[in-house]
């Protein structure tokens, strides 16, 4: 699940939270941060958190990407076409027949 941050984006002295990507189980999430690199250039940091009962969210791992790597990742992800959850279906034409107070729906066969 993608949870984009809006006007109330969390900003820390070390960077800006751009998004939280929570998995379907709710037990893992990835935060996407924009942070200044040591030389002042921006970098993207991906921070994976896991949920621990009694502990809460804790950092599992971090991955920092410089500007060139972040552009490459965006290009690679942009080339991926998301798979449709269900194959496209065509509309079914249903015929109705009525007799007195009874309406019968006739569905096509095959």
* Per-residue pLDDT tens over the stretch 10-26: 544 478 999 999 998 98
Residues 105 and 98: their CA atoms lie apart, in Å, by 9
Q: What percent of the chain has pLDDT over 70?
A: 78
Question: Is 87 within a domain?
Answer: no
Question: Is 98 within a domain?
Answer: no
Tokens of 75: 């290009």
| pTM of the predicted model as reported, rounded to 2 decimal places | 0.61
**Angle value at C-alpha 53, between 62 and 33, nearest 5 degrees:** 25
Residues 88 and 107: their CA atoms lie apart, in Å, by 19
- Parallel/antiparallel/unpaired status of strands 28-36 and 42-52: antiparallel
Question: Is 99 within a domain?
Answer: no
Question: Is 97 within a domain?
Answer: no
Tokens of 102: 């009874």
Question: Is 31 within a domain?
Answer: yes
Q: Using the Cα atoms of residue 85, residue 47, residue 12 and residue 51 in order, give the sign of their dihedral.
A: positive
Q: What percent of the chain has pLDDT over 90?
A: 33
Question: Is 89 within a domain?
Answer: no
At 97 the pLDDT is: 82
Question: Is 100 within a domain?
Answer: no
Residue 18, domain extent: 2-80
Question: Is 107 within a domain?
Answer: no
Q: How many domains does the chain have?
A: 1
Report how far apart, in Å, the C-alpha atoms of 45 and of each of 66, 84, 96 are. 9, 29, 59
Report how far apart, in Å, the C-alpha atoms of 108 and of each of 49, 77, 93, 94, 98 are. 52, 42, 7, 7, 17
């Amino acid at each position: 699940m993608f949870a984009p941050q809006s006007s109330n984006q969390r900003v820390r002295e070390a960077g800006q939270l751009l998004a939280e990507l929570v998995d379907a189980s709710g037990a893992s999430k990835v935060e996407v941060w924009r942070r200044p690199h040591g030389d002042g250039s921006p970098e993207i940091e991906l921070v994976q958190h896991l949920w621990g009962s009694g502990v809460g969210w804790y950092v599992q791992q971090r991955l920092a990407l410089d500007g060139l790597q972040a552009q490459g990742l965006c290009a690679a992800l942009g080339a991926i076409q998301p798979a449709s959850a269900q194959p496209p279906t065509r509309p079914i034409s249903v015929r109705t027949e009525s007799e007195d107070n009874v309406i019968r729906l006739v569905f096509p066969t095959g």
